[in-house]
């Protein structure tokens, strides 16, 4: 249910990517408890309106507006129009996930509840090599990472970066097997289809990095990343064999190495994961905004979010103290 803003002549001024959803999967901003509470009270939480890039917990603009003198006014109209669509469509709520901080403030000023979250990002401080990055760490952390990388490959495992024409259907067959095996154990219900990988492989092959592990002549694990203008976005991974530290190697260390070699500014390794701190990924605040139609549910969620925002801020400060970098 994408929302469009046009002028009197039909020229497109702005757009909001919006979806009507009957569940809360694939969002990485968790509102299952809100849905359960509302339904116990006799309400119907679904359908809801979701403003996001599907399956992608990456910050970016959600109010896509043509540049010009009226851009700010169009953003406000789009934010207000989402509320109007919610009311007229009998949806319970509007959820804007991973907007920019400026958009988050705008939504908050126009009746949306403000929520914060924690992710862990690696920042490139001009490192020339992975060893250069390690030199910035404390001695103990540096030794731990070197040991983990060595043990990850100890069973005769080799790691390969696949891009462009390397992304054949046979490769996607192998990666989908990893996704289904690990996703079934971790999430219970994987939601991406085999055809999804063929589609993104055909349309975005120059923006995809598959980090694949091979042992005894066959692929055994892999992690998918998307390459932005200055950021590597790590998504999901999977494996059909389990070896110590292979997850860290494929998802975190290889991503750092690729970013350094290709002069990218950062790696965003997806949602959650305090264990990323010791691997050089530092806490960063992300945002979401929520319009809740029912006044009673809105009051309860507003009270919860006030306390949650304070907790997220305090946790971020505490976690930052655990950074593995040398104090000097």
Q: Is 3 helix (H, G, I), strand (E, B) or coil?
A: strand
Contacts of 296 (CB under 8 A, 6+ apart): 41
168-173 LR contacts (CB < 8 Å, sep 24+): 169/198, 171/210, 171/212, 171/219, 172/197, 172/198, 172/201
Dump pLDDT digits (tens) for 130-179.
999 999 999 999 999 999 999 999 999 999 999 999 999 999 999 999 99
pLDDT of 190: 78
Q: Exposed (0-12), middle (13-18) or buried (19+): which is 178, by Cβ within 10 Å? A: buried
Whether the pLDDT of residue 129 is over 90: the answer is yes
Alpha-carbon distance of 273 to 227, in angstroms, equals: 21
Q: What percent of the chain has pLDDT over 90?
A: 88
For the chain, percent of residues with pLDDT exceeding 70: 98
- The pLDDT of 248-255, averaged and rounded, is 97
Q: How confident is the model at residue 186 (pLDDT cuts 50, 70, 90)?
A: low
pLDDT(188) > 90:
no
pLDDT bracket for residue 185 (50, 70, 90): low
Name residue, tokens 């063929």: 198
pLDDT tens digit sequence for 67-111: 988 999 999 999 999 999 999 999 999 999 999 999 999 999 999
| pLDDT tens sequence across 200-225 | 999 999 999 999 999 999 999 999 99
Q: Give the model confidence (pLDDT) of 272-308 as tens digits.
A: 778 899 899 999 999 999 999 999 999 999 999 999 9
Backbone phi and psi for residue 169, each to the nearest 5 degrees, phi listed first: -65, -30
Query: 3 pairs with which residues across the strands?
Result: 16
Whether 327 has a pLDDT exceeding 80, the answer reads no
What does the pLDDT look like over 226-242, one tens digit per residue? 999 999 999 999 999 99
What sign does the dihedral 40-43-47-52 (CA atoms) show?
negative
* Rounded mean pLDDT, 258-269: 97
Q: Which domains does the chain have, with CATH numbers?
A: 3-119+284-320 (3.40.630), 125-264 (3.40.630.30)
Of 59, 83, 62, 54, the closest CA to residue 14 belongs to 62
Residue 112's pLDDT band, with cuts at 50, 70 and 90, is very high
How does DSSP classify residue 99? -
Question: How far apart, in whole angstroms, are the C-alpha atoms of residue 63 and residue 52?
Answer: 10
* 47: preceding bond cis by omega (within 30 degrees): yes
Q: What pLDDT, on a 0 to 100 scale, did the predictor assign at position 187?
A: 58
Question: What confidence score (pLDDT) does residue 152 get?
Answer: 97
Helix (H, G, I), strand (E, B) or coil at 322: coil
């Amino acid at each position: 249910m994408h929302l469009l803003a046009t002028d009197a002549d039909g020229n497109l001024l702005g757009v909001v990517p919006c979806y009507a959803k009957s569940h809360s999967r694939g969002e990485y901003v968790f509102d299952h408890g809100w849905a359960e509470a509302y339904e116990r009270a006799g309400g119907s939480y679904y359908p809801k309106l979701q403003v996001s890039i599907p399956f992608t917990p990456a910050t970016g603009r959600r109010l896509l507006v043509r540049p010009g003198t009226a851009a700010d006014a169009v953003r406000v109209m789009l934010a207000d129009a989402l509320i109007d669509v919610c009311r007229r469509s009998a949806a319970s709520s509007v959820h804007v996930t991973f907007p920019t901080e400026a958009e988050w403030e705008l939504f908050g000023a126009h009746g949306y509840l403000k929520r914060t979250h924690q992710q862990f990002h690696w920042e490139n401080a001009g490192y020339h090599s992975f060893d250069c990055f390690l030199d910035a760490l404390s001695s103990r952390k540096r030794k731990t990472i070197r040991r983990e990388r060595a043990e990850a490959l100890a069973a005769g495992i080799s790691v390969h970066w696949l891009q462009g024409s390397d992304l054949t259907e046979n490769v996607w067959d192998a990666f989908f097997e990893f996704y289904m095996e690990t996703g079934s154990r971790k999430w219970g219900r994987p939601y991406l289809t085999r055809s999804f990988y063929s589609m993104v492989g055909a349309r975005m092959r120059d923006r995809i990095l598959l980090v694949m592990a091979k042992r005894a002549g066959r692929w055994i694990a892999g992690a998918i990343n998307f390459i932005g203008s200055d950021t590597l976005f790590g998504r999901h991974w999977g494996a059909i064999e389990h070896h110590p530290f292979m997850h860290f190697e494929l998802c975190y260390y290889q991503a750092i190495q690729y970013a350094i070699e290709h002069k990218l500014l950062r790696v965003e390794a997806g949602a959650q994961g305090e264990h990323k701190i010791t691997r050089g990924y530092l806490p960063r605040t992300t945002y979401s905004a929520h319009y809740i139609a029912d006044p009673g549910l809105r009051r309860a969620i507003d009270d919860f979010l006030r306390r949650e925002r304070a907790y997220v801020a305090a946790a971020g400060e505490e976690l930052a103290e655990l950074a593995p970098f040398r104090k000097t």
